[in-house]
């Protein structure tokens, strides 16, 4: 059955998808058809263009043809991430090899490459193009070279095979992580619930109801047996909101250890979870295969290792530059991390615990917050109902950038959403009455079964203009912003909205920063519009930048309102929250550096390490960086989709690299006023609007008026003293 999912026009060239009819089989068919159309176009290209002008027109026409492929694949990939099931996964995975082969075919197509080179080599013609078009041409030429355009025919075939294998292996890696997470369920006794908050208990009870239904669906229990189980029936899972509720608050140390062990051994040889066919969900061999193939790919292209290949497209110059940056930051953070650890050790002693283990840190940290800062995430959660936070977020970005976000009810849309809790918004420049639509975005913010963990922004539809004869089509940007927040508590007894921890508030601001980067672009060339074309180690700049307003007292006044009284966060709780901003910052920074160094080193090794070598590298990094022993059974890497199934291979350092940029950028607002409209306009025009049409370094320095410095990052992280000492009276590092 083939269903029409042609983009449906809404107001002013905003195109939406009718997800009710976006069947996986249909999307896969559209991907295949788009690939065939692209291949036909390429086959009809002459070896050399007639002129530079004709070369550019061919490039534009081919780019236009590719928009259909990008759209169909973007929707299918999105559905596979947010509501994975057998039908969606099968369609997604069956399409991956075709897409990989086509991508390689395009990257190695010499007549198409000849057109880009013809434009680039015609200095007079090239200089007449817009900066965005010039940048798109330059990046495309680099892309051809990194896709093996210059390789001999036999090596091109080898390169294509490597690419196909990598796409399949990465998808399998992600499947194993999701399946291992979903497969875990641990029914709890009432004795194990001590300390867990009401919010946490509600999530455990919701998980229990899902568990009961799954037991019947999978034939493990009869309906009668399920009906005999108590109600409520608390069940622990590895979904992040549930996991954190237990790790942060459960007094049962053995329960915390059990859950921690299950989480950090996901998709490893130590995991007890199996797939539906009863086979182990073990990523060990997949990881070693991925690293070996990445190394082969890099060496085919003339690089020593994959890290060199990865960094050839980033802001950072080379591996040594990145490693030096990370080690210097680690050196600054270590004294503060030791003070952080002492806080936890002192609290452990107070509670009668002999040692601090990895499964104790979140629990002890919460106790320290309550004791030293009179602050508990649970105490402030009622002040951050999600609808209030969203309204405040929209008010903040209106003050900063002069934009207005408006929710559009599903019945008023030209298309449906993919899940009942999803919300759609339109973004306007100025007020709605100005009728200057910029784009649209979806919020899919709650954790649920079958949804990939974490939070992300997917810009599946970029801003784009295409002229054909006298006609011109204009498409506005649309994106998906996805989270895994605590769901609303909807029962017969009460109906409460999702109540966020402050960490979840920060996550929402982070993803919305990515969304603004995508939506506020003024570039009409899709390849460099929004986040497209932005160096990977700079792409986190807008997201981390926006988080600052969730720490600002004026910002918090806008995003807080007690779920029952509407009262904004009281001054004592605000003071405690701000005082605790850098709480455990040292240990958290070392943890990020540990991941980043591990990622960099496994990709810089030659030959690429096997699974045991991967684990050994992780141990080496931990021994050099960590100030607290990590359990030997910890298999962090086996569940790290960022590195093995995402875009962060040899790029995990980007979070800290971009954090330096974002802290320095926010420093300008600290100087001018955090809601200074002129400074907000400058950030919008020089960072958000230009997207990837200029190098990130140029964009940043245009906004800041100078090169970036590390000073603001150190200050924002609390790393301002050479020899920090913990002050037991104030609860601060003095």
Q: How far is CA 338 from CA 213, 251, 413, in A?
A: 46, 25, 54
Rounded to two decimals, the pTM is 0.88
Task: Tell me what pLDDT residue 291 has.
Answer: 98
The mean pLDDT value of the chain amounts to 92
- Position 726 pLDDT exceeds 90: no
Cα gap 537→657, rounded to integer Å: 6
* pLDDT for residue 721: 61
- Output the pLDDT for position 467: 74
The pLDDT of residue 460 is 84
Contacts of 324 (CB under 8 A, 6+ apart): none
Each residue of 420-472: pLDDT tens digit?
A: 999 999 999 999 988 899 999 999 999 988 899 899 999 989 999 887 666 67
Q: What is the pLDDT of residue 7?
A: 38
Tell me the mean pLDDT in the region 617-629. 96
Residues 358-394: tens digit of each pLDDT: 999 999 999 999 998 888 888 899 999 999 999 999 9
Average pLDDT over residues 527-535: 95
- All domains in the chain, ordered by first residue: 8-107+109-146 (1.20.1050.40), 185-264 (no CATH)
- Give residue 468's pLDDT: 67
From the candidates 295, 308, 366, 511, give the one annotated as an active-site residue.
Answer: 511
Q: Is the pLDDT of residue 10 over 50?
A: no
Q: Which two structure tokens, joined as six digits, stand for 590?
A: 């070392």
Lowest model confidence (mean pLDDT) among 158-167, 347-356, 400-409, 712-721: 712-721
Higher pLDDT, 17 or 490: 17
Q: What is the pLDDT of residues 176-189, one digit of tens each?
A: 999 999 999 999 99
The SS3 of residue 523 is: coil
Token pair, residue 595, equals: 């991941």
pLDDT in tens, 644-696: 998 899 999 999 999 999 999 999 999 999 999 999 999 999 999 999 999 99
On the question of pLDDT at 192 being above 50, the answer is yes
Rounded CA-CA distance 641/172 in Å is: 10
How far is residue 379's CA from residue 402's CA, in Å, rounded to a whole number?
A: 33
Q: What is the pLDDT of residue 493?
A: 65
Cβ count near 734 (within 10 Å): 10
Active site residue 511: yes
Q: How confident is residue 325, by pLDDT bands cut at 50, 70 and 90?
A: very high
CA nearest neighbour of 243 among 231, 227, 255: 255
For the beta carbon of residue 605, count every other beta carbon within 10 angstroms: 17
In this prediction, residue 729 has a pLDDT band, given cuts at 50, 70 and 90, of very low
The 3-class secondary structure across 687-711, one letter per residue, is HHCCCCCCCHHHHHHHHHCCCCCCH
* Range 291-313 average pLDDT: 97
Name the nearest CA neighbour of 677 among 428, 303, 397, 333. 397
Residue 354 has pLDDT above 60, yes or no: yes
Give me the pLDDT at residue 276, please. Answer: 74
Tell me the sheet residues that pair with 468. Answer: 471
State the DSSP string of 438-483.
EEEEEEEEE--TTS-SS-EEEEEE--EEEEETTEEEEE--EEEEEE
Percent of the chain clearing pLDDT 90 (strictly above): 85
Backbone φ and ψ of 125, nearest 5°? -65, -45
Using the predicted structure, report yes or no on whether residue 557 has a pLDDT greater than 90: yes
Supply the pLDDT for residue 8: 39
Residue 594 structure tokens: 């540990």
Supply the pLDDT for residue 166: 96
The answer to whether residue 11 scores a pLDDT higher than 90 is no
Lowest mean pLDDT among 94-108, 314-328, 464-478: 464-478
Q: What is the pLDDT of residues 50-94, one digit of tens each?
A: 999 999 999 999 999 999 999 999 999 999 999 989 999 999 999
Give the pLDDT confidence score for residue 134 in this predicted structure.
97
Q: Residue 734: its pLDDT value, please?
A: 27
Q: What is the mean pLDDT of residues 140-160?
A: 96
Is the confidence at residue 730, as pLDDT, over 70?
A: no
Residue with tokens 């639509």: 437
Q: What is the pLDDT of residue 471?
A: 66
Q: For position 599, what pLDDT does the model report?
A: 98
Q: Which of 592, 607, 701, 702 is nearest to 657 (CA)?
A: 592
- Per-residue confidence (pLDDT) for residue 470, from 0 to 100: 63
């Amino acid at each position: 059955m083939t269903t029409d999912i042609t983009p449906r026009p809404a107001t002013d060239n905003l195109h939406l998808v009718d997800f009710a009819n976006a069947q996986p089989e249909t999307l896969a068919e559209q991907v295949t058809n788009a690939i065939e159309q692209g291949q036909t176009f390429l086959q009809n290209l002459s070896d050399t263009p007639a002129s530079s002008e004709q070369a550019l027109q061919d490039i534009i026409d081919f780019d236009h043809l590719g928009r259909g492929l990008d759209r169909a694949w973007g929707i299918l990939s999105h559905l596979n991430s947010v509501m994975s099931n057998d039908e969606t996964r099968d369609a997604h995975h069956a399409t991956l090899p075709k897409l990989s082969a086509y991508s390689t075919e395009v990257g190695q197509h010499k007549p198409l490459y000849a057109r880009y080179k013809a434009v680039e080599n015609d200095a007079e013609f090239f200089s007449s193009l817009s900066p965005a078009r010039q940048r798109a041409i330059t990046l495309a030429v680099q892309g051809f070279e990194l896709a093996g355009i210059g390789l001999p025919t036999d090596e091109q075939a080898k390169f294509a095979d490597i690419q196909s294998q990598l796409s399949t292996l990465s998808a399998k890696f992600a499947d194993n992580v999701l399946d291992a997470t979903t497969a875990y369920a641990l029914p709890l006794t009432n004795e194990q619930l001590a300390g867990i908050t009401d919010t946490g208990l509600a999530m455990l009870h919701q998980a229990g109801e899902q568990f009961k239904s799954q037991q019947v669906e999978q034939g493990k229990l009869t309906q009668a047996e399920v009906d005999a189980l108590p109600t409520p029936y608390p069940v622990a899972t590895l979904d992040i909101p549930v996991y954190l509720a237990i790790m942060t608050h459960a007094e049962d140390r053995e329960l915390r250890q059990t859950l921690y062990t299950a989480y950090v051994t996901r998709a490893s040889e130590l995991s007890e979870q199996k797939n539906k066919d009863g086979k182990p969900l073990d990523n060990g061999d997949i990881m070693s295969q991925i690293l070996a193939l990445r190394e082969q790919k890099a060496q085919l292209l003339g690089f020593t290792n994959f890290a060199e290949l990865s960094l050839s497209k980033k802001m950072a110059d080379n591996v040594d530059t990145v490693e030096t940056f990370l080690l210097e930051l680690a050196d600054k953070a270590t004294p503060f991390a030791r003070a952080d650890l002492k806080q936890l050790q002192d609290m452990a002693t107070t509670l009668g615990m002999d040692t601090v283990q990895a499964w104790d840190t979140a629990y002890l940290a919460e106790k320290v917050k309550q004791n030293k800062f009179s602050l508990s995430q649970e105490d402030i959660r009622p002040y951050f109902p999600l609808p209030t936070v969203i309204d405040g977020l929209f008010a903040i970005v209106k003050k900063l950038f002069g934009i207005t976000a408006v929710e559009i009810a599903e019945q008023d849309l030209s298309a449906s959403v993919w899940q009942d809790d999803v919300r759609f918004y339109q973004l306007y420049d100025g007020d709605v009455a100005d009728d200057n639509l910029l784009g649209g975005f979806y919020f899919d913010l709650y954790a649920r079964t079958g949804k990939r963990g974490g939070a992300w922004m997917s810009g599946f539809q970029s801003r784009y203009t295409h002229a054909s004869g006298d006609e011109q089509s204009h498409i506005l940007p649309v994106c998906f912003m996805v989270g895994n927040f605590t769901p609303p508590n909807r029962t017969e007894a009460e109906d409460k909205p999702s109540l966020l921890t402050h960490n979840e508030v920060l996550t929402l601001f982070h993803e919305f920063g990515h969304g603004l980067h995508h939506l506020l672009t003024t570039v009409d060339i899709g390849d460099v519009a929004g986040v497209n074309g932005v160096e990977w180690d700079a792409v986190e700049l807008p997201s981390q930048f926006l988080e600052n307003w969730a720490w600002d007292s004026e910002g918090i006044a806008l995003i807080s309102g007690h779920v029952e009284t509407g009262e904004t966060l009281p001054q004592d709780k605000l003071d405690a929250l701000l005082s605790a901003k850098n709480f455990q910052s040292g240990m958290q920074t070392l943890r990020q550096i540990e991941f980043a160094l591990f990622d960099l080193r496994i990709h810089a090794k030659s030959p690429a390490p096997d699974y045991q070598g991967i684990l050994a590298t992780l141990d080496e990094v931990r021994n050099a960086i960590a100030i607290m022993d990590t359990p030997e059974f910890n298999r962090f890497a086996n569940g790290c989709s960022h590195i093995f199934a995402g875009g962060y291979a040899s790029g995990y350092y980007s979070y800290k690299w971009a954090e330096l940029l974002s802290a320095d950028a926010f420093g300008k607002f600290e100087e001018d006023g955090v809601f200074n409209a002129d400074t907000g306009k400058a950030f919008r025009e020089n960072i958000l609007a230009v997207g990837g049409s200029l190098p990130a370094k140029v964009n940043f320095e245009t906004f800041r008026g100078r090169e970036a410095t590390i000073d603001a990052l150190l200050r924002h992280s609390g790393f301002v003293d050479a020899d920090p000492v913990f002050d037991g009276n104030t609860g601060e590092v003095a």
